[in-house]
């Protein structure tokens, strides 16, 4: 299988072997940028922003990613405006990961657009497949969440801490659990209370 065919299979959900030397060499270039990003000092905000633009496929305005960031590639992840990611965001982005505007990631979130077949012989040969992940605008992803290949999360939704998101989640809901499931819609009570019985007191 030549490099062109490998890249085509990477993008269309088919099985492939990610061991091509030219592919690994290309990936290594992004790993060098990622290394530089993760070794910036807290005072080097401008440098971080520039490295993030070099690493990711697209970065909107006012994005902040707290190191360390982990990524298979980086270049297949696209962030909208005003994205905030706390430390240890992991992007298994062998295919496209799309992150909307005003998205927040708590610590230790993993977004995996790549998977491996269950069949042992194929896994022994390091077979892989990729399915894109999409996160809508104004989504909040709780700490320790894992988002699996092919998932879409609708706008305004909250994913509770520790969730394993195996299937797509609609817009405007609170969802959590393993596997993650919709618990309720976001509604009138959420406009009065910000946490349990604590009332919103902002004008």
∠ CA 88-193-174 to the nearest 5 degrees? 50
Domain carrying residue 64: 3-183
Asked whether residue 201 is assigned to any structural domain, the reply reads no
The total of structural domains in the chain comes to 1
Asked whether residue 197 is assigned to any structural domain, the reply reads no
Asked whether residue 195 is assigned to any structural domain, the reply reads no
Asked whether residue 54 is assigned to any structural domain, the reply reads yes
Asked whether residue 32 is assigned to any structural domain, the reply reads yes
Q: How far apart are CA 165 and CA 151, in angstroms?
A: 7
Tokens describing residue 184: 């309720």
Residue range 161-181, pLDDT digits in tens: 999 999 999 999 999 999 999
Residue range 40-99, pLDDT digits in tens: 999 999 999 999 999 999 999 999 999 999 999 999 999 999 999 999 999 999 999 999
Asked whether residue 202 is assigned to any structural domain, the reply reads no
- For 41, counting Cβ atoms within 10 Å of its Cβ (0-12 exposed, 13-18 middle, 19+ buried), the class is exposed
The SS3 of residue 135 is strand
Q: Give the CATH number of the domain where residue 111 resides.
A: 2.160.10.10
Choice among 116, 167, 184, 192 that is catalytic: 116
Asked whether residue 115 is assigned to any structural domain, the reply reads yes
102 is catalytic: no
Q: How far apart are CA 14 and CA 44, in angstroms?
A: 41
């Amino acid at each position: 299988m030549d490099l062109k065919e490998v890249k085509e299979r990477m993008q269309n959900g088919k099985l492939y072997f990610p061991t091509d030397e030219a592919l690994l060499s290309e990936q290594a270039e992004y790993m060098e940028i990622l290394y530089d990003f993760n070794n910036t000092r807290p005072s080097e905000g401008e440098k971080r922003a520039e490295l993030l633009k070099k690493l990711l496929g697209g970065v909107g305005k006012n994005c902040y990613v707290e190191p360390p960031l982990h990524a298979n590639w980086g270049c297949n992840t696209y962030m909208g405006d005003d994205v905030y990611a706390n430390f240890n965001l992991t992007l298994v982005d062998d295919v496209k990961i799309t992150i909307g505007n005003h998205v927040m990631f708590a610590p230790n979130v993993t977004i995996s657009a790549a998977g491996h077949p269950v069949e042992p012989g194929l896994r022994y040969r390091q077979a892989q497949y990729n399915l894109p992940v999409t996160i809508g605008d104004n989504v909040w992803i709780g700490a320790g969440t894992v988002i699996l290949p092919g998932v879409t999360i609708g706008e305004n939704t909250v994913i509770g801490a520790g969730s394993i998101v195996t299937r797509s989640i609609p817009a405007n809901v609170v969802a959590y659990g393993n596997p993650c499931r919709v618990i309720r819609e976001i509604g009138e009570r959420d406009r009065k209370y910000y946490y349990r019985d604590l009332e919103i007191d902002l004008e």
